[in-house]
Amino acid sequence: MEPKKKLTELFLSGNLTESWKNIMEIKENERKSSHEIYQLLTETMEFVSEMWEENQITAAEEQIASYICKSILNNYSLKYIHNVHIASNKAMFLCLGEKQDIGTYILSNMFKEGGWSSRVLEVDMTIDYIVGYSLEWRPHLIWLSISNVYHLHKLKKYSEELIKLHSPKILVGGNLANNYELERYTAPGVIIIRNLKQAIEWINQTGTETNGIALTNREI
């Protein structure tokens, strides 16, 4: 069975033990890199979303799959990213009006492996809360994820408010990034990341410049 479909079945079953076992078999036996594991998780959750949109599964089943995926990411982080040195760079992630925030957790893990300290904000946080939290924690990078055209109006407002705080880098990704010219909806200086490959390239370039770390070359 195709790995994505097998993992989808395990996620929908709610069996965390078997899901984690499957990921470990793929990681260890097939010697997959971290970014290949993240790509598989991304494709799996995209497949789950497609099934929900086509009424093949219920909203409750989709939430079960999301919970399992988040648990997998947490376990993966504890197992493989515990030896990352104390990071000087900080990255903050949030979704604009989205309930499905798996992508931000995947990105958070990727940045941790690239040598960043990383935090994911809960969905539906107000701009006032986000600004206040940013001023307190002072992240060097803020990632805005957007997947629905109905939230495009938020993108420009949020990017304009956040980029002027303490001049953090603002990156924008999500499902819309590969299909829309998001530059029209963002403040000047915002970087659009259109897919997982570009995210890895950005992390590698930035990490190599600051502390010599390259995600795709690390043996973890």
All structural domains of the chain: 3-80 (1.10.1240), 89-217 (3.40.50.280)
Q: Report, as an integer, the average pLDDT of 97-119.
A: 86
Q: Report, as an integer, the average pLDDT of 156-180.
A: 92
Task: Name all contacts of 65-68 with Cβ < 8 Å and 24+ positions apart.
Answer: 65/8, 65/11, 65/12, 66/100, 66/102, 67/14, 68/10, 68/11, 68/14, 68/15, 68/16, 68/19
pLDDT at 214: 39
pLDDT band at 147 (very low <50, low <70, confident <90, very high): confident
pLDDT at 60: 95
Strand partners, 93: 120, 143
8 Å CB contact between 77 and 112:
yes
pLDDT band at 8 (very low <50, low <70, confident <90, very high): very high
pLDDT at 86: 61
Q: Report, as an integer, the average pLDDT of 83-109.
A: 81
pLDDT at 61: 97
Residue with the larger pLDDT of the pair 34 and 213: 34
Residue 19 has pLDDT above 60, yes or no: yes
**Structure pTM?**
0.85
pLDDT band at 100 (very low <50, low <70, confident <90, very high): low
